Every structure is written in structure tokens, then in C-alpha cells.
Amino acid sequence: MNLRLSKERRREWSWILYDVGNSAFTLFITTILPIYFNGIAEASGVPNETATAYWGYAASIVTLCVAVLSPIFGTMSDFNGYKKPIFLAFAALGILGCGLLGIPMPWLVFLAVFIVVKIFYSGSLAFYDAMLVDMVEPGRTDIVSSKGYAFGYIGSCIPFLICVVVVLFSGLDYAVSIPVSLVITAVWWLLFTLPLAKDYRQTHFVPRTPHAVRDNFRRLFSVFSKKSNVPNKKGIILFLVAFFLYIDGVYTVIDMATSFGDTLGFDMTNLLLALLLTQIIAFPAAIVMGKLADRVRNDVLILICIVAYTGIAVFAVFMTSVWQFWLLAVAVGLFQGGVQALSRSYFAKIIPAEQSGCLFGILDIFGKGAAFIGTLLVGVVTHATGSVNLGAIPIACLLALGILVFLFAARENRRFLNAQKETDGTAAPPDAPDEGSDAAQTESP
């Protein structure tokens, strides 16, 4: 019994560690890499404002490409034996591209390479999320998903701080220090990918067919048709709509925080330190949220996180001083990891496990689309009013709508989950922890 549990926990950690690896790339490209790109572009005579605009266009191109590719490859990965090689291909090309970004190249070529690397990186995450149902026992999806985000936050700080030392305090020119930092980030990402590459086995799948590619597209486009046999279709659709609305607010706060503070005149040191504080606070907060899911339904916890983010958006409307920005950073850290992790594990519970690749690919469309629209709305309102504070209003409105739709989604999905438990003969009292959770498991001597 102990050996079996040990093997199961090792598989969980193999999955968690990929978050530790790829999060280093996430943190690097949202902080240091834009500065490096602006420097390359400026050296070629491109105005700073133009370079910033092109960086924004690149992010939009990545969003659209991933939105198209994720469900297609995700649906294909549901076939037996496909998920691991597709994931490894995306991850390997992302890691290789990360290292290659340090090679001297014209700014426009650099931007094109960055787009390709970001596409492979983002695509690997869609497959990584879908692997959760294969790597984790059903009753432990909340805590393991939360640990993924938690250790991703804290783990990414280690290579990031090394890179900050290399870039700011080594005395090396940016032309040397940035490429060295990119290699450090790529190696870190690679090392924490290896355990998952070794231990992953696809246990939920759709049997291969003679016409896999044709059937792949047929399944993708028929998921939400009237003739679709996907269980809990109404609950899944309602959740996707709610997710689109509330994750829009979450991602927009994450993406725009530094730009928001910079526009209000806060110095870069405060901005970077506040970002690190957010990462550090998010580590224990995400784990606590995962532990609470043993005792409180995770739809209730998700709702609490959305309400908290709505308060954060309203607070941002009135923010004018640095201490308020630091307070905002703390609040974001408390709920950021929880809402992302619990949303991932909640979705894994309400979908058929054998179609996880397809459905997580569709979830990725809603997430990426939200990130695109949220930043666009903030930009439009800020441009129209001349106030970055008022730009936070559409975030609050989208979060409020997300709360409303999520209430309907939670009610529908609760019916489905209760019916599923009754069918399986596993119905439990409302306050009892899920079977397979830390609180419910006991080890034999």
C-alpha cells in the first residue's frame, strides 16, 4: 500500500514540476524580455512607442494562433498514445526556441521567433492541463492542481533572481547578459520537464480509428452540436462562458499590472519588487486553496476568488499611490493561484476524462480569447477617457458578469456531479472530504 501511494505521489510531482519549469519562462518574458526587445528595436531606429505596439501585436497573433491550434491538436491527443508525443514536441520546440532567442538577429526576426516560441509554449500548457486526469487520482485534482500553480510561482523566482543578477549586477552588456539569461531559463524549463516526460502514461483516451485526422475534426466540431453525446454539455457550456468572463478579469489584472503602475508614475524597482511579492504570496495561498477544497466545494471557493478579484478591480479604479499598488499586489497574490488552479481542477471534474485533450483545448480558446478582449477593453476605455484608473471599470464589469453566469454553471454542474456519485455509488455527506483526498486517505501499517 505504501509503495503504491509512493508511486502515485511521484506521478503527481512529475506533473507539478512541469509548472515549476515553464513558469520561469512566463516570468522572464513578462518582465525582462520586453525591455530587451525595445532595446533591439531602438538600436535599429524604431521609436519606443512603435516597438511597444509591435510587441502587443505579437501577443495578439500568439493568442489567435493558439486559439486555433489548441483544440485541433488537443482533440487529436485524445487518441490512444498521441498526447505524450504531441506535448513533448510542443515543449521541446518551446525550450529550444527560448535558448535561440539570445542569438543576435534583426528586431523583426526576433519578434517572429518569439511568436513561434510563445505558440509552442502556450500549446504545451493546454496538453499539460489535459494530463491532469491521467496523472492524478480523481479526489486529489484540487490539491495537485493548486500545488502546480503554487510551486510554479515560487519555483520561477529562483531562475528569475539569477537572471536579474546576471542582467543588472554582473557588469555584462545586455547583448551578453540577456542571451545567458535565456539559456538559464531554457535549461531550467528542460530539467523540470524530464520527470513528466518519463512518468506520464495516457490512461484515458479515445480508441484510434483508421481515419484519425478526419475523425479528429469531426469530433472537434461536433462537441457542442445537438447530436453530441458529451455528458453534462449544458454545465460545460455554462462554465466555459463564466470562465471566459471572470478569467478575463484575472488575466487582464496580471497582464496590465506593471503597465498600470508605470502609467501612474511608480518607479520600476517598486513594480518589480511588487511582482515578486505577488509570486511569493501566491505560493502558500494556492496551496491553502487546494487544502480548503477538501472541506469546501471548489465551486464555492472559485466564487469567493471571483468576488475578491471584483473588489480588486474596483480598488484599482481609485488607486493613486505606491502603497495602494503594494496592497493590490498582496491581494492579487492571495487569489491569483487559487482561481486558476481550482478552475482547472473543476473543469477536469465536469468533463469526460477520455475527451480531456479536446475539451481543455476548447477551454484554452476561452482563456486566450478573454486575455485578448480584456486588454483591448482596458486600452479603449483608457484612451477614450485619458484615465488609466477608469480603464479598470470594464474589468470589474466582466468579473461581475462572470459571477452571475458561474452561479448558473455551478448549480448545473452540481446536479451532474451528484448524479454521477449516485451512479457510481460514491455519494458522500456534504461535509465529507472527497474520496482520495489527503483527509480521506489512510495508509496501512
Give pLDDT, residue 436.
Answer: 37
Chain centroid to CA 167 = 27
For 49, other C-beta atoms within 10 Å of its C-beta total 9
pLDDT at 444 over 90: no
d(CA 330, CA 429): 35
HSE-up (13 A, CA, CB side) for residue 11: 20
- What's the DSSP call for residue 138? G
pLDDT average, residue stretch 336-349: 89
Give pLDDT, residue 255.
Answer: 64
Choices 2.60.40.650, 2.30.30.60, 1.20.1070.10, 1.20.1250.20: CATH for 217-426: 1.20.1250.20
DSSP H helical ranges for 101-140: 107-130, 132-135
d(CA 128, CA 121): 11
The answer for residues whose C-beta is within 8 angstroms of residue 83's C-beta and 6 or more apart is 77, 127, 130, 131, 134, 200, 202, 205, 357
Helix/strand/coil percentages in the chain, nearest 5: 80, 0, 20
Give pLDDT, residue 151.
Answer: 93
For 228, other C-beta atoms within 10 Å of its C-beta total 12
CATH class of 1-204: mainly alpha
Q: φ, ψ for residue 123 (rounded to 5)?
A: -65, -40
Task: Provide the strand spans (E) within 33-102.
Answer: none
DSSP H helical ranges for 140-226: 141-164, 174-191, 194-199, 212-222
Domains 1-204 and 217-426 are alike in CATH topology: yes
pLDDT at 430 over 50: no
Give pLDDT, residue 207.
Answer: 74
Q: Work out the pLDDT band at 223, boundaries 50, 70, 90.
A: low
pLDDT at 414 over 80: yes
Domain ranges of the chain: 1-204, 217-426
End-to-end alpha-carbon separation of the chain, Å? 9
Q: Work out the pLDDT band at 108, boundaries 50, 70, 90.
A: very high
Average pLDDT score, the chain: 82
DSSP 3-state of 297: coil
Share of the chain above pLDDT 70, in %: 84
Full-model pTM: 0.75
For 147, other C-beta atoms within 10 Å of its C-beta total 23
pLDDT at 378 over 90: no
Q: Work out the pLDDT band at 257, boundaries 50, 70, 90.
A: low
